[in-house]
């Protein structure tokens, strides 16, 4: 009896009482203009939406903490403009798109995609060449995505090309998604995920969660080969980090799965169905603001004769789409969204315990920090080219079977 009383009164160790306030590494998560990461991000072309979703219907979009208007003019050129009309400030969200630009609803001033004011219809000479120029950002279409450059104009780099994405094979086309679940076959996933861009960026250099979260914990979300805990090597490459996950599959096959992260937020994961060879997709974790992000993806995929484009590689056919699952079903079989939303909008980095398996994340964050210092000191961060001839990026990713 006396023993039992002593046990219940033993002082518990490690309770949550009195825990210290924790903090984030804000230099990594804050992306607004003038912040170190915001300035680093702005030195790279960033994909912002799938090309098919940029139309003659203006839409509001937030990128890197900036609220902008995006549309496509009648010539097919994407436009990304500061929303407030330079006349008296109404939003171009209410504007109408024409062949050569967008016309403000209030007094009809018209602007082209490079911000030139083309018309001021209430003025004595409505079409006189106008000196007024509004604020805009350069855009391009590539791989089914609209890309924007939001950095200093004098440092605009060449639009990057990725060797795994071209040339297209016979009958292939690009299929891009700007909703975080689109590549998983769910058109109704959240377009913007409610957490920092760094969550998904960390995730791509984390081969171990594939064995746990995507396979042994939640059931096989990709393929059973991921049940094997890999031995992993991380390598720093020019402007990025790779991991090589080596698996002995136990059926006579051994393989190296090589994934690549490239500055500052590009992900190239090989086929998750473990088909051999080079990857057919690219992903991007693009900050919307400090606490939310957009996960974009583009892939090469064969077109069927009827013009439909079936997905290849990233579909999880045997799973109910994320947007149709109940909370309980998500608890039973959580995926990346649940794990990352669970880290909070901005993770508390001071309470992380990075261990051996997080080495790739350490390499990424160190590279990002070095690059922020380079930009601060007036230099160009790694991975940029300033001539189209040098703009091809060689991506080492792939599923390589060894025997």
The closest residue (CB) to Fe ion is 336
List 82, 93, 106, 400, residue binding ligand FES (CB under 6 A):
106
Q: For residues 336 and 357, what is the distance between their CA atoms, to the nearest angstrom?
A: 17
Give the DSSP H/E element, type plus range, for residue 48: strand 46-50
Question: CB under 5 to 8 A by kind: which of Fe ion, ligand FES, none does 107 bind?
Answer: ligand FES
Find tokens 């990461």 and name the residue.
37
Say whether residue 202 binds Fe ion (CB under 5 A). Answer: no
Q: For residues 365 and 198, what is the distance between their CA atoms, to the nearest angstrom?
A: 10
Residue 200 near residue 361, CB atoms below 8 Å: no
| Neighbouring C-beta atoms of residue 401, cutoff 10 Å | 13
Per the structure block, which two tokens stand in for 121?
A: 């219809």
Q: How many residues does the chain have?
A: 403
List 88, 275, 370, 376, residue binding ligand FES (CB under 6 A):
88
Per the structure block, which two tokens stand in for 263?
A: 């500055």
Closer residue to Fe ion (CB): 51 or 215: 215
Which x/- pattern, by CB under 6 A, does the window 269-308 give for ligand FES? ----------------------------------------
3-state secondary structure of 9: coil
Question: CB under 5 to 8 A by kind: which of Fe ion, ligand FES, none does 336 bind?
Answer: Fe ion
Residues numbered 1 to 60 that lie near Fe ion (CB under 5 A) are: none
Question: CB under 5 to 8 A by kind: which of Fe ion, ligand FES, none does 109 bind?
Answer: ligand FES
Residues numbered 322 to 381 that lie near Fe ion (CB under 5 A) are: 336
CB of 119 to ligand FES, least distance (A): 10
List 77, 96, 107, 161, residue binding ligand FES (CB under 6 A):
107
Say whether residue 394 binds ligand FES (CB under 6 A). Answer: no
Stretch that binds ligand FES, among 60-68, 83-91, 131-139, 334-342 (CB under 6 A): 83-91
**Beta bridge partner(s), residue 147:** 47, 140
Closer residue to Fe ion (CB): 69 or 274: 274
CB of 400 to ligand FES, least distance (A): 57
- The secondary structure of 69-129 as a DSSP string is EEEE-TTS-EEEE-SB-TTT--BGGG-EEETTEEE-TTT--EE-TT-BEEE-TTSSSTTSP
Q: How far is CA 22 from CA 11, 13, 350, 358, in A?
A: 25, 20, 6, 20
Number of chain positions touching ligand FES (CB under 6 A): 10
Closest CA to 380 of 283, 390, 141: 390
Per the structure block, which two tokens stand in for 75?
A: 């010539």
Closer residue to ligand FES (CB): 89 or 219: 89
Say whether residue 85 binds ligand FES (CB under 6 A). Answer: yes
CB of 361 to Fe ion, least distance (A): 13
Stretch that binds ligand FES, among 29-37, 105-113, 174-182, 240-248 (CB under 6 A): 105-113
As a whole number of Å, the CA-based R_g of the chain is 24
CB of 23 to ligand FES, least distance (A): 43
Instruction: List the beta strands (DSSP E) in 188-291.
Output: 231-237, 240-248, 254-262, 266-268, 281-289
CB of 245 to Fe ion, least distance (A): 13
Residue 98 near residue 87, CB atoms below 8 Å: no
CB of 222 to Fe ion, least distance (A): 9
Question: CB under 5 to 8 A by kind: which of ligand FES, Fe ion, none does 90 bind?
Answer: ligand FES
Q: For residues 301 and 335, what is the distance between their CA atoms, to the nearest angstrom?
A: 24
Say whether residue 145 binds ligand FES (CB under 6 A). Answer: no
Closer residue to ligand FES (CB): 84 or 312: 84
List 56, 67, 82, 87, residue binding ligand FES (CB under 6 A):
87
Residue 192 near residue 182, CB atoms below 8 Å: no
Find tokens 């250099």 and name the residue.
205
Say whether residue 116 binds ligand FES (CB under 6 A). Answer: no
Residue 141 near residue 75, CB atoms below 8 Å: no
Note the residues at the interface with Fe ion (CB under 5 A): 336
Note the residues at the interface with ligand FES (CB under 6 A): 85, 87-90, 104, 106-109
């Amino acid at each position: 009896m006396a023993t039992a009383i002593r046990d219940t009164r033993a002082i518990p160790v490690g309770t949550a009482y009195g825990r210290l306030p924790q903090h984030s590494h804000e230099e990594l998560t804050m992306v607004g203009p003038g912040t170190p990461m915001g300035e680093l991000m702005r030195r790279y072309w960033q994909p912002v939406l799938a090309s098919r979703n940029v139309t003659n219907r203006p839409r509001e979009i937030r990128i890197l903490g900036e609220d902008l208007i995006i549309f496509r003019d009648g010539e097919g050129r994407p436009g990304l403009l500061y929303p407030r009309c330079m006349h008296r400030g109404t939003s171009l969200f209410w504007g109408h798109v024409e062949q050569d630009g967008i016309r403000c609803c209030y007094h009809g001033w018209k602007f082209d995609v490079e911000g030139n004011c083309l018309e001021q219809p209430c003025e004595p000479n409505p079409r006189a060449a106008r000196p007024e120029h509004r604020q805009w950002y350069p855009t391009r279409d590539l791989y089914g995505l609209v890309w924007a450059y939001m950095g200093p104009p004098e440092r605009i780099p060449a639009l990057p090309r990725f060797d795994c994405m071209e040339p297209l094979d016979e009958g292939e086309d690009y299929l891009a998604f700007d909703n975080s679940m689109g590549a998983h076959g769910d058109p109704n996933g959240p377009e913007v995920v409610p957490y920092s861009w760094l969550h998904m960026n960390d995730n791509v250099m984390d081969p171990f969660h594939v064995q746990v979260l995507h396979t042994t914990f939640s059931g096989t979300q990709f393929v059973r080969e991921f049940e094997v805990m890999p031995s992993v090597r991380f390598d720093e490459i020019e402007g990025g980090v790779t991991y090589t996950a080596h698996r002995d599959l136990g059926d006579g096959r051994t393989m190296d799965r090589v994934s690549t992260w490239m500055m500052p937020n590009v992900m190239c994961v090989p086929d998750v169905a473990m088909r051999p060879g080079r990857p057919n997709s690219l992903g991007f974790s693009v900050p919307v603001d400090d606490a939310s992000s957009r996960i974009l993806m583009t892939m090469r995929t064969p077109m069927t004769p009827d013009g439909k484009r079936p997905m290849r590689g990233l579909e999880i056919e045997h799973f109910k789409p994320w947007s149709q699952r109940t909370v309980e079903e998500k608890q039973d079989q959580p995926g990346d969204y649940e794990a990352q939303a669970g880290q909070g909008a901005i993770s508390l980095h001071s309470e992380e315990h990075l261990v051996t398996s997080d080495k790739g994340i350490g390499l990424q964050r160190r590279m990002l920090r070095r690059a922020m210092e380079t930009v601060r000191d007036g230099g160009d961060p790694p991975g940029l080219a300033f001539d189209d001839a040098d703009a091809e990026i060689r991506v080492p990713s792939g599923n390589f079977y060894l025997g």
